[in-house]
Amino acid sequence: MSTRGSCLGTNPWSRWPTLPWLRVLLGLGLILGLQTASSTAFYLPGLSSVNFCEVNKETNYCKSSIEMYVNRLDSVESVLPYEYNTFDFCHDFKKKSPSENLGQVLFGERITSSPYEFSFNKTETCVKVCKKSYDSAKEDQKKKLDFLKKGMQLNYQHHWIIDNMPVIWCHDINDGNKYCTTGFPIGCFVTPSGISSDACIMHPEFNKNNTYYLFNHVDIIITYNSENEVDWYVSKLVSARLEPKSYKHVDENHLTCNGTPMEIPGDYTDKLNIIYTYSVKFEENKQIRWSSRWDYILESMSHTSIQWFSILNSFVVVLFLTGMVAMIILRTLHKDIIRYNQEDIQDYGWKLVHGDVFRPPRHGMLLSILLGQGTQVLIMTFITLFLACLGFLSPANRGALMTCSVVLWVLMGASAGYVSAKVYRSFRGLKWKTNFFLTALLCPGVVFVDIFIMNLILWIEGSSSAISFGTLIGILALWFGISVPLTFLGAYVGSFQKFDYPVNTNLIPRTIPHQAFVRRPFFSAIVGGVLPFGCIFIQLFFILNSIWSHQMYIMFGFLFLVFIILLITCSEATILLCYFHLCSEDYHWWWRAFFTSSFTAVYFFAYAVYYFFAKLKITGIASTILYFGYTMIMVFIFFLFTGTIGFFSCFIFISKIYSVVKVD
């Protein structure tokens, strides 16, 4: 699968212009599912290439200087990222930072320039970058060294960028394969009991107890390709790799970059000097073109040999089950309608409750508010995933995914107001102004309060992910300045539109017979959430891995396909269970339809808890609170749009079946 987009570059619609929607959907699934690393994909990041040439050939058309930027440092053992300059590394005093978009700010990316600068195609060996001195007698220097030790103990990772590409680090693992990652560690730590952690395991010479080993040297390999056949001296960078090393430089005037590692004893109380160095060399590779240079980032994923056949098998099983559900419903319903439309057959089952099936539910305003917000999130998610699948929101365009999501959510405020107001009116509600205010403020307010509390913790901990006060004001301006007025506009239109049900509602509610345990709402919700969760838990693992284990997520094609299957599964599971309840003369389906599919969010949360304890090594109260705080936001958003899918699917189904039968 190519990282330039997760859909094939050729247009599948041009081949099958007249096929029905089902075959088109299956064709899309086949295209997305059978992609491999060798597939040719199109790339639409909106970025232009940069030409490089040697120093003596530099012109306005190409440049020789290669700048390296540094991003925030993060760790799988802590949710708290830090800016590069928070640590006492070699800093660039010019401090040039590229402009950041809203998505980068919200994600906590902090990209800044570094003192590492290279000349194209010029090999350099053991070049000094800077020297850092520490005296334990001076409090400020002692704090800087202690913070550096803490970073090594928690396995914080560097993230470097060259020509908008992440610099990757590859090393051998036990089975003979290579494991590559977009970050490399500050250093590693051998505990007082002699247990080596993280990178120290790969270096047998790192064997002293209670000792920190700092990676103060990097060997960088930059690969280029001369694609221009006219200007043969012009090249483009196609990959960047490095290998971190630890050297104790004795003489800064005669650096050799070999010898004993840079050791920092855990109880060090003397003076300490650390010299940072690098070596760089260039290699030409004519096989990799600039348009496909992000393909090599596939190696940076921990599961490059992903079980494609297992995922495809899950897709087939889910499609088969949903097809069976649809077939059962259609066959059973077809027989019921034929029997009910015969004059000499007495009413029974779901037709008996025709006078109560559209009776307004309790707490109708709250339900309409949740449905309005769910619609807003659903539309936002669909458009975002579709654009990501096409390659517009590729990893090369940093922060584009989050920016697109926020902008779409703001613009979809009108849909939230319209749906909420129209559903509330169908419940015969009269307080449409209260409905509008709660639709615009309730669910976004819950998310904003959660984000504010998380941001307060990040600010106290000094993390780079802390959103500035100005950014918070900007988010509030988008909310109240654009989203709220659009919500009002949609609510105004929706509240004055007339809505008629297929059948009238009786004045006196019908008595509901005693229901067995298997027909109780709670049991139905438990059963109804299993099948939708079954179709997403594989992709859920990779999403959580990309968020908390700092892996790059690029499988938007598979994610979009899973999203479509999730819509189908939620709809059919909810319709099936609602039909069985109506056949048992239980007409309280409004909230049940919402909770049947939205219960998938409960399984989502349970899996997130399992992932926290089984897969992560997060320590500390602050990191734990942040993990579950952000998880609750994801679960709440998932709860809204899955519940909305189930509700409207069930509503359409019930409206159709009661409009095609004879009602006495």
- At 472, the amino acid letter reads L
Is 456 domain-assigned? yes
Report the pLDDT averaged over residues 643-663: 84
First to last CA, the chain: 59
Report the pLDDT averaged over residues 620-647: 93
Share of residues in the chain with pLDDT > 90 (%): 38
Predicted confidence at residue 232, as pLDDT, reads 62
Nearest C-alpha neighbor of 641 from the set 389, 368, 381? 381
> Do both 476 and 552 map to the same domain?
no
> Do both 455 and 369 map to the same domain?
yes
Q: How many whole angstroms separate alpha carbon 174 and alpha carbon 179?
A: 10
Of 30-44, 325-339, 366-380, 498-512, which one has max mean pLDDT? 366-380
Is 337 domain-assigned? no
> Do both 444 and 528 map to the same domain?
no
Per-residue pLDDT of 459-497, as tens digits, reads 998 888 888 888 899 899 999 999 999 999 999 998 887
Neighbours of 286 (CB within 10 A): 10
**Is the model's pLDDT at 35 over the cut of 50?**
no
H/E stretch holding 72: none
Is 490 domain-assigned? yes
Predicted confidence at residue 10, as pLDDT, reads 31
Those residues with Cβ within 8 angstroms of residue 477's Cβ, 6 or more apart along the chain or in another chain: none
Report the pLDDT averaged over residues 387-400: 82
Is 142 domain-assigned? yes
**Is the model's pLDDT at 307 over the cut of 70?**
no
Predicted confidence at residue 299, as pLDDT, reads 56
Is 408 domain-assigned? yes
Is 382 domain-assigned? yes
Q: How far is CA 596 from CA 26, 313, 551, in A?
A: 26, 25, 33
> Do both 292 and 418 map to the same domain?
no
> Do both 485 and 539 map to the same domain?
no
> Do both 464 and 573 map to the same domain?
no
> Do both 274 and 376 map to the same domain?
no
Count of domains observed in the chain = 3
Q: Lowest-pLDDT range, 329-338, 624-633, 645-654? A: 329-338
Classified as helix, coil or strand, 97 is coil
> Do both 107 and 191 map to the same domain?
yes
> What predicted TM-score, i.e. pTM, was given to this entire model?
0.84
> Do both 119 and 254 map to the same domain?
yes
Predicted confidence at residue 18, as pLDDT, reads 33
> Do both 421 and 492 map to the same domain?
yes
| Cβ–Cβ under 8 Å, residues 509 and 434 | no
Which domain-ending residue is among 271, 300, 329? 300
**Domain with 612 in it:** 523-664
Q: How many whole angstroms separate alpha carbon 169 and alpha carbon 179?
A: 8
Predicted confidence at residue 297, as pLDDT, reads 66
Return phi, psi of residue 309, to 5°: -65, -30
> Do both 287 and 224 map to the same domain?
yes
Give the side-chain half-sphere CA count within 13 A for 266.
Answer: 14
**Is the model's pLDDT at 45 over the cut of 50?**
no
Mean pLDDT (the chain, rounded): 82
Which domain-ending residue is among 265, 300, 335? 300
> Do both 439 and 538 map to the same domain?
no
Report the pLDDT averaged over residues 213-221: 95
Which domain-ending residue is among 500, 531, 555? 500
Higher-confidence residue: 4 or 210? 210
Predicted confidence at residue 356, as pLDDT, reads 84
Predicted confidence at residue 345, as pLDDT, reads 55
pLDDT band at 409 (very low <50, low <70, confident <90, very high): very high
Is 321 domain-assigned? no
Structure tokens at 341: 């439309």
Q: How many whole angstroms separate alpha carbon 352 and alpha carbon 453?
A: 51
Is 442 domain-assigned? yes
Q: How far is CA 225 from CA 229, 236, 299, 302, in A?
A: 11, 5, 19, 27
Predicted confidence at residue 642, as pLDDT, reads 94
Report the pLDDT averaged over residues 192-218: 89
Return phi, psi of residue 274, to 5°: -125, 125
